[in-house]
């Protein structure tokens, strides 16, 4: 317990895993069954809520989708978490993947701590781990890589030329999260720095879901692959380990891939009445 906490409710910051609902942890499932309020991201399998959420829980969708214009503001999410917990409720903040990887957990933690509210952080299977496993690509396979780097291209300006050169020459496996649309730019930069042609690229869309797609190509013959539009969420794995996919792939690509997770623009058709509160918060944040 934290020494400055009040007698408020409690906040659970939990990862839901990358898509397959059976990758949810037992602890996260238990708290979903006890929750009074669940604030859930877009990238959470609908089956998780249908199977594990308490029938009495108020479910509020607070999804984000960069560049789509209808995302819930982070300040609104922080406010909702604190308001519900301050009423003595058990609040589960459910995030896709692992709660600590490329998320806004810091903002939410600060809001909870500043309000003196008790909390727990429950890890989940991160997208890189799930995608690699379901694509048959061991990220640090012996004799192929001794380390792995997790990156995002979201703020590409922080990656200077020296860093790109390092990425092009390292033997580490590289994983770019949330980078389907950025694939041409990422691959172009690594080509500029003469990346080893023995390294391959895996572009994985909707990993661990029934709609999973895996595309394997190399740096100097990938233009046709890059012209495809990858369904969100998608990530890129780069390195010699990608060559192992051919031997160890065990999940077939979806024959007719569709959106497994509802795009933000379509969420209005699946939201419950409770979610109108999220819109009200977002409007005044």
Q: Which residues are catalytic?
A: 41, 64
The DSSP secondary structure of 221-272, one letter per residue, reads: S-HHHHTSPPPSSEEEEEEGGGGGHHHH--SPPPSS---SSPPGGGGGGT--
The residue behind tokens 């939201």 is: 271
DSSP state of 71: P
Q: Which two tokens stand for residue 196?
A: 């080893």
- Strand bridging mode 173-177 / 234-239: antiparallel
Give the chain's largest Cα–Cα span. 61
| CA atoms within 13 A of residue 199's CA, in its CB half-sphere | 21
Separation of alpha carbons 220 and 235, rounded Å? 19
Q: Which two tokens stand for residue 213?
A: 């797609």
Separation of alpha carbons 148 and 269, rounded Å? 39
């Amino acid at each position: 317990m934290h020494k400055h906490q009040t007698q408020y409710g409690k906040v659970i910051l939990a990862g839901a895993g990358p898509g397959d609902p059976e990758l949810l942890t037992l602890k996260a499932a238990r708290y979903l069954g006890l929750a009074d309020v669940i604030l859930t991201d877009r990238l959470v399998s609908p089956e998780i809520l249908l199977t594990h959420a308490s029938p009495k829980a108020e479910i509020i969708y607070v999804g984000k989708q960069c560049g789509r214009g209808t995302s819930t503001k982070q300040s609104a999410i922080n406010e909702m978490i604190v308001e519900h917990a301050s009423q003595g409720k058990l609040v589960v903040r459910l995030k896709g993947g692992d709660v600590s990887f490329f998320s806004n957990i810091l903002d939410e933690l600060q809001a909870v701590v500043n309000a003196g509210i008790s909390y727990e952080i429950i890890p989940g299977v991160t997208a890189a781990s799930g995608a690699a496993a379901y694509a048959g690509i061991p990220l640090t396979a012996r004799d192929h890589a001794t380390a792995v780097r997790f990156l995002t291209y979201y703020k590409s300006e922080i990656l200077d030329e020296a860093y790109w050169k390092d990425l092009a020459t390292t033997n580490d496996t590289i994983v770019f999260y949330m980078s389907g649309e950025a694939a041409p730019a990422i691959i172009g930069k690594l080509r500029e720095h003469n990346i080893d042609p023995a390294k391959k690229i895996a572009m994985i869309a909707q990993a661990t879901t029934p709609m999973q797609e895996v595309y394997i190509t190399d740096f100097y013959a990938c233009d046709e692959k890059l012209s495809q539009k990858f369904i969100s969420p998608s990530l890129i794995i780069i390195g010699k380990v990608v060559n192992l996919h051919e031997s160890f792939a065990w999940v077939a690509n979806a024959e007719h891939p569709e959106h497994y997770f509802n795009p933000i623009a379509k969420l209005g058709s699946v939201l419950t009445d409770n979610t109108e509160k999220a819109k009200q918060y977002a409007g005044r944040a």
